[in-house]
Amino acid sequence: MKIAIDAQPVIDSQKTGIGFYEYNIISWMLKRWKEHEYIFNCFKFHRLSEAETALREFTESGGKSNICTLLPCSLYRLMSNLAPVPYSVFFGKDADISLFFNFIAPPGAAGRSIIVIHDMCYLAFPETVRFRTKAMLDLSLKASVRRASAIITDSEFSKSEIVKYMGVDPDRVTVAHCGVDTRVFYPAEADRLDRAKKKYGIPDTYLLYAGTLEPRKNIERLIEAYAGLLIEEPSAPSLVLTGRKGWLYDSIFEKVRTHGLEERIIFTGYIDGADMPALLSGTLVFLFPSLYEGFGMPPLEAMACGAPVLTSTAASLPEVVGDAAVMVDPYDTKAIKEGMKRLINDPALRRDLSAKGPERAKKFSWERSAGIIMGVCEETRARNPSPRGGGL
């Protein structure tokens, strides 16, 4: 079977959740199902070598790169929304399955299209989504759902949201959870932690948030809660906020200034992947009070590293953490503050969660989820044999 994979999310040097999801799934597909042929499609108008470098790991494992340098991906997306410009014009028709990890199946992809829809945030919480992202999904997602022979998503919660908002038959949607690579995310040695803290200017004791700086991550309420915590616990550890800027982030920095917390809150920017396990291992408490997640990889990775986790009762997060975290109402600033206070002052609770976390994380395997997705590809091919070239 020839499987064409949209590699656009994995050529970004600063991957976000979707990029990491795709990277881990296709790494396992290449490792376990060598009998299939894999083609990695992407647009790269400038700096071709960056795409070639990003795909080298996959091409060295037997995959083939198929890079279009005629135009940027953003321009193709705009064009395909205005007119059904076939994807196969740029990437050919020679595939049985075209697998798209970032919501959208463009018109005219080779073979049968399978899409991964990670969440329904743009409809459930439109005010927290970047305008251009919402506009693109408004224009494209329903057509993509119609084109797709199968849909994959990250959680049972997201499956219920897709059924609710897209009106699709539940049998069309398969859940393949995010996983955690326990060869990477595990309690780190002291010297690794020391190097990472020195690199990013982080003190010995700290509270940690990891994720994009954007509205749905609920960082402003976290800052409000932390300000309240300092009134009651002036010696509480510094709060470290890691992650690259997403959108509507100016109010986050303004909130810090309003409360005079410039000396107590540290913004590190994007953390190199090699350093994140160490920082997760070293935090006193990991904080992730998000309003909406299709899955929620940061709490899972934190648990794998033995960090005590505080997260929210919203969306998919209870499905991810089970009983291995403290959960709070993300809309209740006082509840977030009390959750932090409880964890800071209760070492027995922290030890309990540190022991439960790695065991909980073992339930989520990239290899298992890759097997689920491969099963969907094989079933789709068997059920819907199609002349290569796809449809509009």
How many domains does the structure of the chain reveal?
2
Mean pLDDT of 290-307: 96
Q: Is 92 left (phi over 0), alpha (psi -120 to 50) or beta?
A: left
Query: Are the beta carbons of 242 and 210 closer than 8 angstroms?
Result: yes
Starting at the edge strand found earlier in the chain, the sheet holding 2-6 runs 64-68, 37-43, 2-6, 97-100, 112-116, 150-153, 173-175
| Residue 223 resides in a domain | yes
pLDDT digits (tens, 9 = 90+) for 40-92: 999 998 889 999 999 999 999 999 999 999 999 989 988 888 888 999 999 99
Query: Does residue 121 sit in the same domain as residue 207?
Result: no
- On whether residue 339 sits in a domain, the answer given is yes
* Residue 273 domain boundaries: 190-361
Flag whether 390 is in a domain.
no
CA 41 centroid distance within chain: 20
So what's the pLDDT on residue 14? 72
pLDDT of 391 reads: 56
Signed CA dihedral, 281, 322, 15, 329: sign only: negative
Residues paired with 242 in a beta bridge? 210, 269
- Do 167 and 91 belong together in one domain? yes
pLDDT of 392 higher than 80: no
Q: Is the pTM of this model over 0.85?
A: yes
The average confidence (pLDDT) of the chain is 94
Task: Give the pLDDT confidence of 81-131 residue by residue, as tens digits.
Answer: 888 899 999 999 999 999 999 999 999 999 999 999 999 999 999 988 888
144 with 243, same domain?
A: no
Count of other CB atoms within 10 angstroms of residue 324: 23
Compute how many other C-beta atoms are within 10 angstroms of the C-beta atom of residue 90.
18
Residue 152 CA neighbour count, 13 Å, CB half: 26
Residues 324, 297 share a domain: yes
Instruction: Please determine, for residue 388, whether its predicted confidence score (pLDDT) is greater than 60.
Output: no
Distance CA 160, CA 314 (A): 14
What is the full DSSP assignment across 198-266?
A: HHHT--SSEEEEES-BSGGGTHHHHHHHHHHHHHH-TTPPEEEEES-B-SS-HHHHHHHHHTT-TTTEE
d(CA 249, CA 297): 21
Which domain CATH number covers 260?
A: 3.40.50.2000
| 121 touches 129 (CB < 8 A) | yes
Write the DSSP symbol of residue 70.
Answer: S
State whether the Cα torsion 16-17-23-26 is positive or negative: negative
Beta-sheet pairing, 112-116 with 150-153:
parallel
Closest CA relative to residue 61, chosen from 90, 101, 26, 97? 26
Q: CB 97: neighbour CB atoms within 10 A? A: 25
Task: Please state the separation of Cα 298 from the chain's center in Å.
Answer: 8
Residues 202 and 153 in one domain: no
> Do both 33 and 154 map to the same domain?
yes
Whether residue 161 is found in the same domain as residue 40: yes
- With CA atoms as reference, report the closest residue to 177 among 332, 279, 295: 295
